[in-house]
Structure 1
Amino acid sequence: MMGSGMMMNGMGGGMMLAMGAVCVLAVMVLVLAAAALIKYLRSPQVGSDGA
């Protein structure tokens, strides 16, 4: 019983670590996308002026 619990705990910890890493990556991607969008919106649109 005890060994099984430890095994599940170890797997749960690994899953938590993996999910944490995925969450951090997702947040970084969202932040970079937001920064790029803000940069794009704040920059003068040369294409729309030409058209």
Structure 2
Amino acid sequence: ATICVMDIGDMIAHKLVAVMDRKHPANRDLFDIHYFLSSPVATETNY
């Protein structure tokens, strides 16, 4: 069986949109963005 998942660039983009769409920022979104942007993969992603 095959499981489809998002690639890292799409996950970063969705987290950035989630922070902007929420009325109140969620700590988990801020942590996830910090984690993603701190990773080596972030330098390979076009924003």
TM-score of the aligned structures, taking structure 1 as reference length: 0.33
**Relative contact order (alpha carbons < 8 A, sep ≥ 6): 1 or 2 greater?**
2
Structure possessing the higher radius of gyration over alpha carbons: 1
TM-score of the aligned structures, taking structure 2 as reference length: 0.35
